[in-house]
Structure 1
């Protein structure tokens, strides 16, 4: 694959990051520098790390960045759960995001497994 832009996992994670950023427009203004900032950072971190890792010179570096993306995925899920419990996010929307995060997690895991096989 020549570009990270061709990776479906990158495309879907960019879509998710954009949706999270749009969602934050409806959060309380007093959360602008709190949970909103955290949500934005971890959502943007996922596709950013996939892209950065893909552009690195080694498979091991790509795997390292995919691991970071997985960490950001878990962080995003946690922040969304907190948002839902605070009443900033409807339970149905939280469930939708959770399903998408699980799918992205499976995709990243599959990519990691494929890359690890290349190292063997």
Structure 2
């Protein structure tokens, strides 16, 4: 995470920045899904991935550690949801192995950073 003294906005959080990269990757990948998935897997994946950065942002704005932790935990849950949906998309061959690997790697980075945010609150 960036130096705490320099964090003035949720966009300064590495977890949000890397999460935003994940959002863009998922949107790009789901653009190529079959039309029959537009109201199912596509919308579900997009909602889940947006939830990650939205909850990081909302958690950042909260005043108490308990509230921050709650929103970061929700972001963690949404990330796990995306990881599951990526496996489904891979198995249905909606994304190839290279793209799956890139998105899965990015999701692991985001997981680590959200875990760090949660630990920093518990240890404060």
Q: TM-score range, shorter-chain basis?
A: over 0.9
The reply to whether residue 105 of structure 1 matches residue 84 of structure 2 is no
1:66 aligned partner: 72
1:22 aligned partner: 28
Deviation for aligned residue 1:113: 0.7
CA deviations on 1:53-90 (whole Å, 9 max, x unpaired) are 11112111110011001100100010010000001010
Are the counterparts in 1 of residues 45 and 85 from structure 2 also a CA contact under 8 Å? yes
- Runs of 4+ aligned structure 1 residues displaced above 4 Å come to none
C-alpha RMSD of the superposition: 0.9
TM-score by structure 1 length? 0.94
The reply to whether residue 115 of structure 1 matches residue 115 of structure 2 is no
2:91 aligned partner: 85
CA deviations on 1:8-34 (whole Å, 9 max, x unpaired) are 110111121122112211110010001
Q: 1:23 & 1:9 partners in 2: Cα distance?
A: 21
TM-score by structure 2 length? 0.91
Which structure 1 residue ranges, 5 or more long, are not aligned? none
Partner-residue secondary structure (3-state), 1:36? helix
Q: 1:87 & 1:27 partners in 2: Cα distance?
A: 9
Deviation for aligned residue 1:2: 2.1
Q: 2:8 & 2:109 partners in 1: Cα distance?
A: 24
Which structure 2 residue ranges, 5 or more long, are not aligned? 1-6
